[in-house]
Amino acid sequence: MIWNPEYETMARADLEELQLRRLQTTVAWVYERVPYYRTALDERGVKPRDIRSLADVAQLPFTDKTALRDTYPFGLFAVPLDQVVRIHSSSGTTGKPIVVGYTKGDIATWTELTARVASAAGVRSTDLAQMAFGYGMFTGGFGMHYGLERIGATVIPASAGNTERHLMMMQDFGTTVLISTPSYALYLAEVGQKLGIDFQTMPLRLGLFGAEPCSDAARREIEANLFIRATDNYGLSEVMGPGVSGECECDCGLHINEDHFFVEIVDPVTGEPRGEGEEGELVITPLTKEAFPVLRYRTHDLTVLDRTPCECGRTLVRMNKVRQRTDDMLIIRGVNVFPSQIEDVLFKIEDVRPHYLIVVDRKHGLDDIELRLEVAEEVFSDIMADMVAFTKNVSERLHSVLGLNVKVTLVEPGTIERTAGKARHVLDLRDQGC
């Protein structure tokens, strides 16, 4: 269902006019209120009045995580703290977190946008929606919660973790929608199967998954094990949280809420615009944020935009599912390797479980890559020669895609750490001075 047809099906020319007005307001807003942006714009000799068309966005500076860290915690806020009603943060891999703030108006916008995303995925007011994102500094829990409530669904704010309790509530309450990371959905299915739960007879019908990449194979596995339709939605704390984009029922990309976000695709190295239909780094300028409006935020997420019409009737541009980040890329002996390339190989092999860890190390000055891989019980009970053949097959397939020798270590089911949040697939020991 289209939650807000007026905006979601707007004619392109009207949408662009709206975007331009909102962009102009946002640039003036930050110029007047955020010293960091006033300086950055002055240095480029750009004044808010210079933004006369959407193409003028190119005159604006990019913002990256460094700017957010340098102004920690509230330096990029555009309103005084007494107008900020909520703070969230996103933990980085190192150092201090990124802190983001919301006014009452921002919360209202966020609610509208997560309602759109949930509605596009198929949530209705009759649904019982069980939240498995954490309610805390992470934007996932609260962000999706408000949108689901706005739709009128019955929200079960179970939060992250406590898997058996999740399963119990699902059965007892008759949950119809699950909201979580895809990796947690897989874990729920795994624990449920061990407990002998029959998902097929449960009312659960739909999954709203996001916050981390999900391969097609993982999605199929979730759908087959939980007997649901799995949908993907995307967002990031720096521009709002969930609610940036989400899949509709046509399953052909994630519609971006363009009336609130202006998007560009750029070359991740040079920052130059990429052509129509080319893959590149997604850059987002929120157009209606009050407390924390960033200009041209470098997401590091790689995707492609699709402007072909969608059968659902929405005119909002679609982005492909995000499978990798520019900063995910590992350079091993000079070869560029994305974890998603390894995952794609793995999911094509029978008896491989969707749980793995890539361990990178440096020994005697040379990079070393090991893949710890969970496999089905049967593989372990096989005779030694079969196990060796299995390992060799995985290793050869990886070699043919990556051009690298990967040491493959088979581990028993349940060995790789499970998490209620975002799954961690890479352990790079080279950063630790090894």
Q: How far is the CB of 67 from ligand DLL (least distance, A)?
A: 15
Q: In this structure, what are the phi and psi dihedrals at residue 225, rounded to the nearest 5 degrees? A: -85, -35
Which residue's CB atom is positioned nearest to ligand DLL? 210
Helix (H, G, I), strand (E, B) or coil at 42: helix
CB-wise, 302 or 369, nearer to ligand DLL?
302
Q: How far is the CB of 6 from ligand DLL (least distance, A)?
A: 24
Task: Count CB-CB contacts under 10 A for residue 219.
Answer: 21
Q: How far is the CB of 246 from ligand DLL (least distance, A)?
A: 8
CB-wise, 144 or 345, nearer to ligand DLL?
144
For tokens 């406590």, what's the residue? Answer: 162
Q: How far is the CB of 411 from ligand DLL (least distance, A)?
A: 25
> Is residue 185 a contact partner of residue 422, using CB atoms and an 8 Å limit?
no
Phi-psi region of 329 (alpha: psi -120 to 50; beta: other; left: phi over 0): beta
Q: How far is the CB of 141 from ligand DLL (least distance, A)?
A: 8
List of residues contacting ligand DLL (CB under 6 A): 90, 133, 139-140, 210-213, 232-237, 241-242, 299, 301, 322, 325
CB-wise, 37 or 234, nearer to ligand DLL?
234
Q: What is the DSSP letter of 211?
A: S
Strands 366-375 and 352-363: antiparallel
> Is residue 245 a contact partner of residue 254, using CB atoms and an 8 Å limit?
yes
Q: How far is the CB of 262 from ligand DLL (least distance, A)?
A: 17
CB-wise, 298 or 353, nearer to ligand DLL?
298
Give the CA angle between residues 51, 36, 61 to the nearest 5°: 40
DSSP string, 385-408: HHHHHHHHHHHHHHHHHHSS--EE
CB-wise, 60 or 144, nearer to ligand DLL?
144
- Give the helix/strand (H/E) hosting 177: strand 177-180
Task: Count CB-CB contacts under 10 A for residue 69.
Answer: 17
CB-wise, 41 or 113, nearer to ligand DLL?
113
CB-wise, 60 or 179, nearer to ligand DLL?
179
Q: How far is the CB of 386 from ligand DLL (least distance, A)?
A: 36
Q: How far is the CB of 253 from ligand DLL (least distance, A)?
A: 12
Structure tokens given for 282: 């997604």
Alpha carbons 221 and 227: distance in angstroms, whole number: 10
- Give the helix/strand (H/E) hosting 94: none
CB-wise, 10 or 99, nearer to ligand DLL?
99
